[in-house]
Amino acid sequence: MADVADIDRIEIRYEHTGWGVINETFVLVPVRGGGGFRLQGHYESTAGGVRAGEWPVRSTAVAQLLAALQERPWQRERAMREIAGGVRRSELIPATFWTTWPPLACDADELRALARSRLRGRSVRDEVDAYYGTGMRWTDDDPYVQLRILHRQGREQRWHSTAQHAMLVPWVAGDYAPMEAPDRQNWSLSVSRTLRALVPVDAHLHARLDGLPSMRARLQDYTQYAAARECERLRPR
């Protein structure tokens, strides 16, 4: 377990622009006498309204984040494999299909069959990898997370993420730059999970550090769109 005795404070900042603007800030400071940490936060609750306050945080929870950051950086392949392992193949096919105008020439059962046909020969890992793609994938969704770890001797560590995708990976060492160097990337899901454990459960950042339900919905959308296009190819309207 990583040593937390050297920590002066940890700053966490989350900003989001797009459909609305969100600003959340959190600061973790050690409690004197080795009594863990105190989280000072100002954030927008997913239940509505702005909240501010202080909450106790166990030293072990902070140590887990530090340990995750000290690990050898994860490669993309490892993250894709682990995320795909949590998705069932059946979850790639939507229960219902969009209603279009003019209507498609295929009914729901036929669209479902086309969806299954599209997935034939493709693994869940393939679909998850395509979802992550390269860089920004959709508009009106610009997240930014900055993590600063300040040590008592003056040393400072910085990490950030501008990823739209589930779990906000990859994390990038240092400050934001328009062209992120691949060798600064860390696809560690452990960083996302341990950071998520530190912030309030109703914070937008807490939801964003998971994001797996949204990912599953997008995977279904991709399948649904492909099935609809195949239907139009086979039976033009």
206-223 tens-digit pLDDT: 999 999 999 999 999 999
Lowest-pLDDT choice from 98-102, 173-177, 200-204: 173-177
pLDDT at 232 over 70: yes
What confidence score (pLDDT) does residue 218 get? 93
Q: For the residues 70-83, what does the mean pLDDT come to?
A: 97
The two structure tokens encoding residue 194: 């341990």
What confidence score (pLDDT) does residue 139 get? 84
What confidence score (pLDDT) does residue 9 get? 97
φ, ψ of residue 28 to 5 degrees: the values are -100, 125
pLDDT at 186 over 90: yes
What confidence score (pLDDT) does residue 230 get? 96
pLDDT at 181 over 90: no
Percentage of the chain lying above the pLDDT 70 cut: 97
What confidence score (pLDDT) does residue 2 get? 80
What confidence score (pLDDT) does residue 39 get? 98
Question: Where is pLDDT greater, at 162 or 137?
Answer: 162
The two structure tokens encoding residue 196: 């998520």
Give dist(CA 225, CA 222) in Å, integer.
5
The beta-carbon contacts of 176-182 under 8 Å, at least 24 apart in sequence, are 176/144, 176/146
pLDDT at 177 over 80: no
What confidence score (pLDDT) does residue 42 get? 98
Summarised one tens digit per residue, pLDDT across range 149-162 is: 999 988 999 999 99
pLDDT at 180 over 70: no
pLDDT at 136 over 80: no
CB atoms within 10 A of CB 123: 11
State the Rg of the chain over Cα. 21
Give dist(CA 163, CA 172) in Å, integer.
10
pLDDT at 182 over 80: no
